[in-house]
Structure 1
Amino acid sequence: MLSRRAYLKTLTAAGGLAACGLPVMAADPNRLWEKGVVASVQPVATQAGVAALARGGNAVDAAIAAAVTLGIVDQHNSGIGGGCFILIRRANGQLLAIDGRETAPARASRDMYLRDGKPQPELSQTGALAVGTPGAIAAYDLALQHAGKLMLADIFRPAAEVAEKGFAVDTNFARKLKSTAAKLAQFLGSAKALLKPDGSAYDAGEVLKQPDLAATYRNIAERGPDWFYRGEFAEKVAAWMKDNGGLLTAEDFAAYKPIRREPLQTKYRQCQIIGFPPPSSGGVHVAQMLNMLESFDLTLLASKKDGTFEHLLAEVMNLAFADRAYWLGDPSFAQVPRGLIDAEYARTLAAKIDLSKATAVPSYGRPPRATENIFSGKEYDPAESKHTTHIAAADAEGNWVAITQTVNTTFGSKVIVPGTGVVLNNEMDDFSISPGQPNAFGLIGAEANAVAPGKRPLSSMSPTIVLRDGQPILAVGAAGGPTIITQVLQVLLRVLDLQQPLDTAVAAPRVHHQWRPDELRVEKSLAPAICKSLEERGHKLAQTDGIGVCQAVGLEPGSKKLIGVHDPRVPGSAAGL
């Protein structure tokens, strides 16, 4: 495994960071920035964001520059063949929530993954039938139009240089390539773009060049999103789908539109929590769990270091994920009750918690007004009212951004249409392909998240911004399937309740419960005494090396300076001006 210094050296030699036009800066979670800061899972992407700031861009431009570059250097997690949620707090106080989630093809059907009446999960995870209409580029463009200073071309051109000159494969990328090489080799375009001529995977430190992806990026820079959605790219994908049993058509691309949704705003302690509404389940359930926890003295419970704090977290997670499985879906197709974030409903759920033992949760709860006052599926008009990755950014003007984006599982559907260089998502697996059938993350769903034409699959992506006295103090999000929700929750609690520094909060050991399977995942770094206490309370523990990957930016207490933090579980980066 490469040391961090050796890895940064190979990046520079490959033209990675240098291609962004800035010197290499070592990530320093304690360094403060005055003009702006960006945190991402990959140093090349972070530096692309910093370069955007240096060219006169704001935090929105920086975050999107990092996001676009991640589609090259972190391609197993996200890219323009996938989707995203973008949450923005502008300098003037305006809040924007832009839904760039993928959509099911017009020819999709509820039972499309059943064969002889039995679900076939592989069809929703690999190959042509797994792909939904990508939404990332449309969402980036809409965000730049509303809140950026730079043009889409200003961001895609420098990224094209990174793809063309190549970048040093990091240890995470190399590991993911090796784990999926056999499936990637099934598709000619994927094998050509991502594997060596002999079919083997690139090792860490080796340089991967992607000329087809560079050409795609340049076409987007020169011709705009229409080239992708109504031009040559859409036509190439449609032709490949027709020849390979897929449903996605050029008409699906042309019909795609990002949706500007009403941000989900709730209160916790003395802060305002800005989350993303459905089809994100994250905003709803982070708010729901915070509501349940508000009546507990978390500082006291955590200070005991006897497992009570972690037990309480597990119990609220269990209750929230039971509700997620039944109630959550695309609000244009399913009734998603606002009662899920009702304070009284939270108190009812919290009353079920026994701090001395684990309590079984046999089914979902029933929130008040379950069939009314639903989250609207209509576009918001302010005049009227592990796999995946996260980027956080902020600037001195007061723009704060949280972007979570994904192609779903590692390298998505494993499909790259020859000549495009673009990894296509397998987001169709985020639908409930059959009642009770777990998806790739072990999540189950109900009718609210069934497949339907044009529908957006339920997501765990949870970009979150926190305000205190109307001013932003934190932007956070994560990667890792359903653990995204619980990661964000734990960082919020550690910062807001336990008063931990942001880097400490991000690095702290995590736990995760998602109702089904009925087990509590814990990181191996969690103290043995706490693990023993959790088992004594009745939790079935599943130990793991790490639970997800989180990025955050925050306001340094007592100053106007900015701090960026990347998750130490992977070699990410935080840097700024």
Structure 2
Amino acid sequence: MRRTLPFLLCVAVLVIAVPLNAARQPLRARHGMVVAMEAIAADVGVSVLETGGNAVDAAVAVGFAMAVTHPFAGNLGGGGYMLIRMADGRITFIDFRERAPEKASRNMYLDAKGELTRDSIEGWRSSGVPGTVRGFEIAVNKYGRKTWSENLSPAVELASKGFRVSYALAEGLKGSKSLAASPESKRIFQKNGAFYDVGEKLTQPELAGTLERISKNGANEFYEGETAARFAAEMAKHGGLISRSDLKSYKAIERVPLTGMYHGYTIITSPPSSSGGIALLEMLGILDGTGYEKAGAGSASAIHYVAEAMRRAYADRNEYVGDPGFVKVPIAGLLDPAYLSRLRASIDRERATPSDTVHPGKPAGTERLETTHYSVVDAEGNAVAVTYTLNGGYGNGITVPGLGFLLNNEMDDFASKPGTPNMFGLVQGETNAIQPGKRPLSSMTPTIILKDGKLFMTAGAPGGSRISTAVLQVILNVVDFGMNVQDAIDFPRFHHQWQPDTLSLERGVSPDTVALLKSRGYEVDYAPGVVLAQVAAIVSDGGWLQGGSDGRSAAGKASGY
């Protein structure tokens, strides 16, 4: 019998803080678990597990379903990463991040005065070449058990027959200016010019047709078939950059995940072109040996040490990390124990270090809530962590006419003008400058953790530049502070990303702690609206799977059997 975890009524994309003094219990299940940022898709994943699919099958089915039910971030027209750990010990990382089109150029988003335009965020020129469909194909073909068409079937049915609009989706659609600016998006996501109400049925016949063709013809349909031809024609018609050649040449890449150790646990996480895994391992490496945890979770001292680790890791992230096909990323140097020891020693035990005095180190060998994450574990112990995105909420808001899918505005993740903040406030360097065929840097951090060689935890989050710090804190809460997975997720979070030199704190942090942090020299953002990412995690413990979904958004769900 499937069990589901109820959530407080709130909006998926207009998130609220959790009442953190009201403890919630994780969902517990014996056989399989899916935690996703959208409830219908989570149940789709469990159904796949119940009918003989493995965790990879379920992950792909969830991803396609979310393209229908969670248009805020679920997608065909975006990209992301999938981290897989099979029960037999095999691990792999599928990089299906978007690429810059062949016609892209370094200064394409600068005006005559050298100032940034909004073209990297708005309009057809903001889109990179999508990777989701090709990435999911690799996953199913190499690691799945069900057929490609079986894994697409739930999404096809949801798009063609429709589904009931949730409160979260209804409010999200009402709040999107980008959707309202696109005639095709407005036609699909409004009903005769009016917004959908809760409980009304939303059907997407054009998207159903695209999914049906992909189901029948494979991923080549999206990259070389009728869908590709129509997609490229619409791009050309509207002044976009993506061509048929871009689509045909796109490849998802299998990479070797990064691994590290922390307090006896093996951390498996994302390699470049994601910066998230390097940042996560660097932060853990800096903290290891500080004894920060002795001060207790949520204390000013513990927050201080973790924030200083964040500050140093983000300085390095912005200087050194980029697409490994274009830049040499000094991974070994950044994670070298001697280098991490130097960074650790540079932390003042009592005072915040001003960011203008923290510069990227010299290692040897030298994304907000618009993303979505889901975690899957099956009865055999296979585990999958997927983070994928359109970048901005609903991407650039443009639905491709006749095809039904939304486009990403991922080109803004490049450093269009190195040294100038992007839409997430990240200041990035030359390693992430625009080049044709290059993958933009990402903060996505899908992570799997082992204890004594066995699966212990899988986690990840949406949240733009705040993803890796959110994943870090959930890991610390479980490993160092002994919290269950739900408490670890619901505990108030904080974030520092070097530039701007601001420590963001959720309102669940006590005012006394905030005052102590200010006395240490921190510039604090403690505004009521601060929400620092949404985490989806599963812990395997004592024969039970424990699923935790983030109460910062009630659209999410832990579902298991």
Q: 2:179 aligns with which of 174, 178, 184?
A: 184
Partner of 2:120: 124
Partner of 2:233: 239
Q: Distance in 1 between matches of 2:322 and 2:492?
A: 30
In the TM superposition, 1:511-522 aligns within 5 A as 511-522=494-505
Structure 1 residue runs without a partner (length 5+): 9-27, 372-385
Q: 1:96-123 CA distances to partner (integer Å, 9 max, x unpaired)?
A: 1000100000111111111104233410
Q: Distance in 1 between matches of 2:152 and 2:25?
A: 28
Displacement, 1:6?
11
Q: 1:138 aligns with which of 134, 146, 163?
A: 134
Change (3 A) 1:171 1:547: farther
Equivalent position SS for 2:559: strand
Instruction: Say if 2:370 and 2:391, in contact at 8 Å, map to a contact too.
Output: yes
Q: 1:359 aligns with which of 330, 353, 361?
A: 353
Q: 1:349 aligns with which of 343, 349, 353?
A: 343
Instruction: Say if 1:298 and 1:498, in contact at 8 Å, map to a contact too.
Output: no
Letter in 2 for 1:446: G
Letter in 1 for 2:324: P
Displacement, 1:128?
0.8
Equivalent position SS for 1:330: coil
Displacement, 1:54?
1.4
Instruction: Say if 1:29 and 1:574, in contact at 8 Å, map to a contact too.
Output: no
Q: How many residues align?
A: 537
Residue 89 in structure 1 maps to residue 82 in structure 2: no
Partner of 2:221: 227
Partner of 2:306: 313
TM-score normalised by length of structure 1? 0.90
Letter in 2 for 1:552: A
Aligned-residue RMSD, C-alpha = 1.8
Letter in 2 for 1:189: E
Letter in 2 for 1:427: E
Q: 1:144-202 CA distances to partner (integer Å, 9 max, x unpaired)?
A: 11211112211112111111222233333333322323x3233232222222322x433
Q: 1:460-516 CA distances to partner (integer Å, 9 max, x unpaired)?
A: 000000011111100000001011010000011111111111110011000011111
Partner of 1:485: 468
TM-score normalised by length of structure 2? 0.93
Q: 1:422 aligns with which of 405, 410, 431?
A: 405
In the TM superposition, 1:7-46 aligns within 5 A as 29-46=25-42
Displacement, 1:5?
8.4
Partner of 2:334: 340
Q: Distance in 2 between matches of 1:465 and 1:431?
A: 27
Further displaced range: 145-154 or 358-367: 358-367
Q: Distance in 2 between matches of 1:30 and 1:523?
A: 22
Displacement, 1:301?
1.7
Change (3 A) 1:50 1:450: same
Partner of 1:173: 169
Q: Distance in 1 between matches of 2:98 and 2:173?
A: 24
Change (3 A) 1:51 1:511: same
Equivalent position SS for 1:257: coil
Letter in 2 for 1:320: A
Change (3 A) 1:523 1:68: same
Instruction: Say if 2:64 and 2:74, in contact at 8 Å, map to a contact too.
Output: no
Letter in 1 for 2:295: L
Residue 292 in structure 1 maps to residue 286 in structure 2: yes
Q: Distance in 2 between matches of 1:459 and 1:117?
A: 28
Q: Distance in 2 between matches of 1:394 and 1:464?
A: 13
Q: Distance in 2 between matches of 1:5 and 1:117?
A: 50
Letter in 2 for 1:169: V
Q: Percent identity?
A: 39
Partner of 1:433: 416
Partner of 1:548: 533
Instruction: Say if 2:111 and 2:117, in contact at 8 Å, map to a contact too.
Output: no
Letter in 1 for 2:560: G
Q: Distance in 2 between matches of 1:461 and 1:173?
A: 23
Equivalent position SS for 1:348: helix
Q: Distance in 2 between matches of 1:30 and 1:186?
A: 40
Letter in 2 for 1:241: M
Partner of 2:18: none
Equivalent position SS for 1:125: coil
Partner of 2:548: 565
Residue 328 in structure 1 maps to residue 321 in structure 2: yes
Q: Distance in 2 between matches of 1:202 and 1:455?
A: 39
Q: Distance in 1 between matches of 2:532 and 2:167?
A: 18
Q: 1:499 aligns with which of 482, 502, 525?
A: 482
Residue 272 in structure 1 maps to residue 266 in structure 2: yes
Q: 2:103 aligns with which of 91, 104, 107?
A: 107
Partner of 1:369: 364
Structure 2 residue runs without a partner (length 5+): 11-23
Letter in 2 for 1:449: N
Q: Distance in 2 between matches of 1:208 and 1:261?
A: 38
Residue 464 in structure 1 maps to residue 447 in structure 2: yes
Displacement, 1:561?
1.8
Letter in 2 for 1:406: T
Displacement, 1:232?
1.3
Q: 1:124-158 CA distances to partner (integer Å, 9 max, x unpaired)?
A: 01111110111011111101112111122111121
Letter in 2 for 1:403: V
Partner of 1:406: 389
Q: Distance in 1 between matches of 2:26 and 2:531?
A: 23
Instruction: Say if 1:235 and 1:250, in contact at 8 Å, map to a contact too.
Output: yes
Q: 1:214-248 CA distances to partner (integer Å, 9 max, x unpaired)?
A: 11111111111111110111111211111111111
Change (3 A) 1:454 1:73: same
Instruction: Say if 1:119 and 1:433, in contact at 8 Å, map to a contact too.
Output: no
Q: 1:308-331 CA distances to partner (integer Å, 9 max, x unpaired)?
A: 111111111111111111111101
Change (3 A) 1:576 1:496: same
Q: Distance in 2 between matches of 1:153 and 1:84?
A: 21
Q: Distance in 2 between matches of 1:185 and 1:368?
A: 47
Partner of 1:532: 515
Q: Distance in 1 between matches of 2:66 and 2:25?
A: 20
Equivalent position SS for 2:472: helix
Instruction: Say if 1:288 and 1:340, in contact at 8 Å, map to a contact too.
Output: yes
